[in-house]
Structure 1
Amino acid sequence: MSLSPQRQLDNYLSQFAEKQVDGKYLGLYDGERRFGRVFAWLHEQYNNAFEFMNYKAPQGVGGHFNADPSRELMEVNETYSALLRIASKAGIRIETKPEYQRVIDSSPGWLQPTCGSPIPEGLTPIEVEYYDTVFETEESGTTLAGTEQVRLQLVGEGAYAFVHKFTDPNYGIQIARKRLKKDADPKEVERFRREFDIMKRFDFPYILKVYRYDESDNSYTMEYCEHTLRDYISHNIQKMSYQTRHKMAMQFLYAMNFLHRRGVCHRDLSYRNVLVHTYRGSDAFMVKVSDFGLAKEKTSDLTSTGSAMKGSIIDPALKSFRDFKPVNDIYSIGFILNYTLTGKENLVTDGSRLGSIIQKCSATNPADRYQTVKGIIEEMKKLRDSRTALQSA
C-alpha cells in the first residue's frame, strides 16, 4: 500500500533533521515550521555556491567553476527538484526568489560533473540574499471535509491576502478561497476575521456570499465571481446596451443602500472590489460588492487603513478615516456609476441628466452630494431609457 502524499512529504523532510545548518539561516525561517530546516539548508548551500561563482567571475564575463563545487551544486539542485515534486503532490507550491530561480533554471545547461564548469557570461554577479527568506510555501491544494484534496488555482493577490479558486467535488461548482498571508501581523488577522464576520451576517443578492472560516490557516471560502467590474466593462462595453449597463448600476446601488441602512460604510470601493458573476449560456449577470477588510460599522473604532487602500477611490474631502460617513462612500459611488454606464474613468461633464447625477455624487463639497444612496436610486430609476439619460438636465 503506497503512502499518502502528505506522508511521503513528511518522510522526505525528516532527512534534514540531521543535516548541519548555520543558525543564521534557521533564524530566517522561524515562520516555516514544517519546511524551515530544508529551506534553511537550501538557502545556505545556494549562498555558498553563488558567493564562489561571484568570486570566480566578478565582472560577469565568464569564468571557471571548479569541479567539486559544480558537483555539489548539481546535488543541491537535485534536492531542490525533488522537494518541489514531492511538495506538489501534497498540494503545496514552493515559491523561490526570482534571482535564485534564474540561476537554478539556467544551471543544468552549463554545470558539468567533471573538470569544472564554465560560468556563462552575464550570469554573475548574483545578488546573494543574507537577511531575508529565499523560499516560501504557497498552497496549491486544499482538503475539504469528506473529500479528496482539490487543486487550487491562484486568481488574485492583494496587499495582505491570496485568492484561489477550486471546483467543489461534491457539487461541481467553482468556489473561491481567500487566505491571509503568513507574515500578517495580529492587527491584520483581526481585520481579516472581521471582514468575514461582516459578510457572513449579510444575505443579500448583490453582496458576495461567504461560507466558512478556517482558523488553522486564516482563510475562508466564498462564492466565486469570474470578473471584476473593471475587466467586465472594459471587455464588453461596446456590446452592452444602455439598459444592461443601467441594470448593472442599479444592482450596485442596491448593495450600497443595503449596507448603509445597516450602518456599514465600505471605505474601500474600487473598480476591482465590485465583482460580476456571469451565467454560462446566457447574458445574465449579478453584481457582487466584495472586499470588506476596511468596512466600518457604527459601533467600530477601526480607523486605520494601511496599504490595502491602494487602488481605491478615496474622497479628497475626507480629513480622517475616523470621520468616514456614508457620504464619503457616495463620492466613490459616483465614479463606479460613471465607469459602469460609460466605460470611462473620467466623469461625465456633458450637462446631461445622467451627468448631473454623477457630478452630484462626486461633488467636491460633501454637503452638495446626495446624502443617501436611496436618493441616487430614485433619480436613476427615472433614467432607464438612454434617451432620457442623455437629455439636458
Structure 2
Amino acid sequence: MNIDNYLEGVYRQIAYCESDEYGWLYKGFNNDKIQIIFSTLHNLINKCYEKMNTRLPTVDNVSHYWAEESRNLLFAIELINDLQYKLKNTESAFGLDEYYSEILEKCKSFLKKIGGSTIPSFMDQVVIYYTIPIFIKKDSVKIESDVTHNYYNLKLIGEGSYAKVFKYYDQFYNKKFALKRALPNLDEKEVKRFKQEFKQLHSLSHPYIIEVYRYDEANNEYIMEYLDMTLEQYIQANNTKLSLKSRKRICFQILSAFNYIHSKGLLHRDISPKNILIKQHDGLIVAKVSDFGLVKVPNSQLTTADTEFKGYFNDPQLKLDGFSSYSMVHEIYALTYLMYYILTGRTNISDIDNSAIDKFVKKGLASNTSERYANVNEMIDVIRKIK
C-alpha cells in the first residue's frame, strides 16, 4: 500500500473540518500530513465531547446525544481505527492515550449514525484534552531541552504543614500551572513523604485526580495542573444555587476517584473540602482529589505510631487508636462526612430534614465500624437513590 496516497485520501475526508489548533502536540510525527490529520481529529473529538458533556453525567438516567455529533464522533473513531491498522508497521505507527482509548471504545458501543444516540446511564463527564496529545507516537521519547530557560513570577495561593503552593502563567503553553514547593525546614522523613506524594500522584491516572508533571530534586518542588478553587470555596460561593442533581454529580466524581485510589491499595487519609479542587469549564464543574501528603501505602515505613492526627473530617476515634491504625473503615467515615457536606452544604450533622441523607450519614458514621459501608460502591448505590 502506498502510504502517501492513503494519507492523502484520509486528509480529503476530513478537509471539510481541517484544524491546525493542536498541530503543536504532534510535531513528533515527521509526516506533515499526519500532523494535520491528528490535529483535525483531535479538534473534532474535542468539539463532540464538549457537546456531550452538556448531557453528562447521566447518573441513573439515560440521555439523548444529537445526530450530527453522533455521526461525527463515530466517523472519527472509525477513521482512527483504520489509521492505526494501516500505519501499524510504519514509522508513523501510533497508539492512543489510555483514558481516551477507553472513552472512545465506550462511545463506540452506543453511537448511531442515524437519529442520534442514547447515552447510557452512569456515564461521567469527559475530561477534554487541550494540552495533552490523544495520539501517541510508538517507540518515542520526549527529551527536555536545557538550551532555553524561562522564568515566571510565582503567586502564593496556599500553604500547609509541608509545602507552599504557587500559581504561574506559562507563556509557551498559554495556560496556568501550579507549583508545590516543600518548606525549607522539613526534616529528612518529611521530605521523603513530600516526594512520595508526587510519586503516588504521578503513578495515578484518573480524570478526577489532580495531574502532576515533573519533580525538581534541587528545589524539592513539582509542577501540577492548576485548578480554580477548593471544593470548600466552591460550596460556600454557590451553596444557595446548587441543585441536588448538581451536588450528586460532584459526589459521583469524587467517589469514582476514591474507588480508583482504593483499587490501587491506597488510603488517602486527609479527606476534606480543602483537598478536593474544582475546575470550571464554561459552566461545567470537574472535581479532582488532591493532596496525597498523608497517603497510606502498603508496606510503607513512613507511617509510625506517633504520626499526628490530621484531616478534620477524620474519625475522632483515631485520636485514641492512633493514626497509624487508619484503615478502610476510617476512610469511609471521612468520605461519608464529605458527601454529607456536598449534599447539604453543612458541616454540622444535626436536624437532617432529608430522611435518605440522614440514613446514609448514620450508616457511614456508625460508631460500630462493622456497620459502616464496606466500600465506595455501596456509598454510590445509596447516593443514587437520594431524592
| TM-score, length-scaled by structure 1 | 0.58
Alpha carbons 1:317, 1:365 under 8 Å: kept: no
Q: In structure 2, what residue type is equivalent to 1:173? A: K
State percent identity of aligned pairs.
38
Letter in 1 for 2:356: R
**Shift of residue 357, structure 1, vs aligned partner:** 1.1
Matched, 1:159 2:161: yes
Corresponding residue to 1:179 among 178, 181, 184: 181
1:346 Cα shift? Answer: 1.5
Contact kept in structure 2, 1:200 and 1:211, CA below 8 Å: yes
Matched, 1:296 2:299: no
Out of 252, 255, 262, the residue aligned to residue 254 of structure 2 is 252
Residues 298-337 of structure 1: pairs in structure 2 closer than 5 A: 298-304=298-304, 310=310, 312-318=312-318, 319-337=321-339
Q: Structure 2 CA distance, aligned partners of 1:283 and 1:307?
A: 41
2:192 aligned partner, one-letter code: E
- In structure 2, relative to structure 1, the CA distance for the partners of 1:145 and 1:314 (3 Å cut) is farther
- 2:371 counterpart (363, 368, 371): 368
1: CA distance, partners of 2:229 / 2:176: 13
Contact kept? 1:147, 1:169, Cα under 8 Å: no
Tell me whether 1:352 sits opposite 2:355 in the alignment: yes
**Other structure's SS at 2:315 match:** coil
Query: What whole-Å deviation, never above 9, does each CA across 1:92-128 have from its counterpart, x for those lacking one?
Result: xxxxxxxxxxxxxxxxxxxxxxxxxxxxxxxxxxxxx
Deviations 1:302-332 (A, max 9, x none): 3249897555322123312222211111111
Who is 1:283 aligned against? Answer: 283
One of 237, 240, 264 as aligned partner of 1:238: 240
Instruction: Tell me what 1:268 maps to.
Output: 270
Q: Tell me the alpha carbon deviations over residues 239-261 of structure 1, each in whole angstroms, 9 at most, x when there is no partner.
A: 11111111001111111111111
Helix, strand or coil at the partner of 1:259: helix
Q: Which residue of 2 aligns with 1:196?
A: 198
- How many angstroms does 1:145 deviate by? 7.5
Q: Distance in 2 between matches of 1:156 and 1:306?
A: 26
Residues 1:206 and 2:208 aligned together = yes
- Residue 168 of structure 1 and its aligned partner are, at CA, apart by 1.3
Supply the distance in 1 between the matched residues of 2:337 and 2:148 (Cα, whole angstroms): 45
Say whether the 8 Å CA contact 1:159–1:307 is kept in structure 2. no
Separation in structure 2 between the aligned mates of residue 322 and residue 310 of structure 1, nearest angstrom: 11
**Larger radius of gyration, structure 1 or 2?**
1
- Is the Cα–Cα contact under 8 Å of residues 164 and 178 in structure 1 kept in the other structure? yes
Shift of 1:298: 2.1
- Partners of 1:262 and 1:211 lie apart in 2 by 20
1:378 aligned onto 2:375:
no
5+ unaligned residues in a row in structure 1: which ranges?
1-143, 384-388
Tell me the TM-score normalized by structure 2. 0.59
Structure 1 pair 305–220 and aligned structure 2 pair: CA distance change class (3 A): farther
Instruction: Kindly indicate whether the alpha-carbon contact (under 8 Å) linking 2:230 and 2:278 is maintained by their aligned counterparts in 1.
Output: yes
Displacement of 1:301 in angstroms is 3.3
| 1:289–1:309 CA distance, 2 compared to 1 (3 A) | farther
Q: Deviations over 1:167-220 (max 9, x none)?
A: 111111110000001111101100000000000000101111111000001000
Q: What amino acid is aligned across from residue 339 of structure 1 in structure 2?
A: Y
Structure 1 residues 257 and 244: alpha-carbon distance in aligned structure 2, compared to 1, 3 A threshold: same
Report if the CA contact (8 A) 2:251-2:342 is conserved: yes
C-alpha separation in 2, matches of 1:161 and 1:273: 14
Q: Unpaired segments of 5 or more residues in structure 2?
A: 1-145
The answer to whether the Cα contact below 8 Å between 2:280 and 2:286 also exists between their aligned partners in 1 is yes
Partner of 1:339: 341
SS in 1 for 2:152: strand
Question: Judging changes above 3 Å, is the alpha-carbon distance between structure 1 residues 239 and 350 closer, same or farther for their aligned structure 2 residues?
Answer: closer
- Give how far 1:147 is off: 4.2
**CA 1:350 to 1:368, structure 2 compared with 1: closer, same or farther past 3 Å?**
farther
Task: Check whether the contact 1:232–1:276 (CA below 8 A) recurs between aligned residues.
Answer: yes
Partner Cα distance (2:341, 2:186) in 1? 33
Contact 2:212 2:222 in 1 (8 A): yes
Quick one: distance in 1 between partners of 2:287 and 2:254?
Answer: 6
1-structure distance, mates of 2:237, 2:257: 23
The structural deviation recorded for 1:159 is 1.0
C-alpha distance after superposition, 1:219-270 (max 9, x if no partner): 0010111111111001101111111111001111111111111110001111
> What SS does structure 2 have at the residue aligned with 1:238?
coil
SS for the counterpart of 1:251 is helix
Within 2, Cα distance between the matches of 1:303 and 1:236? 37
Aligned to 2:274, the other structure's residue is in SS state coil
SS of residue matched to 2:277? strand
1:123 counterpart residue number: none
Contact (CA 8 Å) 1:210, 1:221: kept in 2 or not? yes
1 CA distance for matches of 2:213 and 2:160? 20
